[in-house]
A = this chain, B = another copy of it.
């Protein structure tokens, strides 16, 4: 999942989908400097990581993509857990140093 967010193009896609709401592949490719298929591949990757979902977009020809905000929360929580472990480790080190002499 961090790997999915790690690519700048994909991070920009996520940000844009967040700011503008659900958009189709073609619409997302309009502004970008790369081809529509490249965008589509990135969206595949984001979908694989659960960060994005294909909206139905009606039975018609347009299929819009939308953000899955739960995954962003999960990522945030993972970072919180890691930094909490860091604090605990520091505390343990401090205690060990104070006991030793």
Cα of A3 to Cα of B7 in the assembled complex, Å: 6
Could you tell me the distance between the alpha carbons of A11 and B81 in the complex, rounded to whole angstroms? Answer: 13
Q: A-side binding surface: helix, strand, loop or mixed? A: helix
> Would you call A67 an interface residue if the criterion is a C-beta within 8 Å of the partner chain's C-beta atoms?
yes
Q: Are B69 and A21 in contact (CB under 8 A)?
A: no
Distance, CA A66 to CA B10, complexed state (A): 30
Q: Which residues of B contact A72 (CB under 8 A)?
A: 79, 82-83, 86
Name the B residues within 8 Å of A21 (CB-CB): 89-90, 92-93
Enumerate chain A interface residues (CB-CB to B < 8 A).
Answer: 2-7, 11, 14-15, 17-21, 67, 69, 72-73, 75-76, 79-80, 82-83, 85-87, 89-90, 92-93
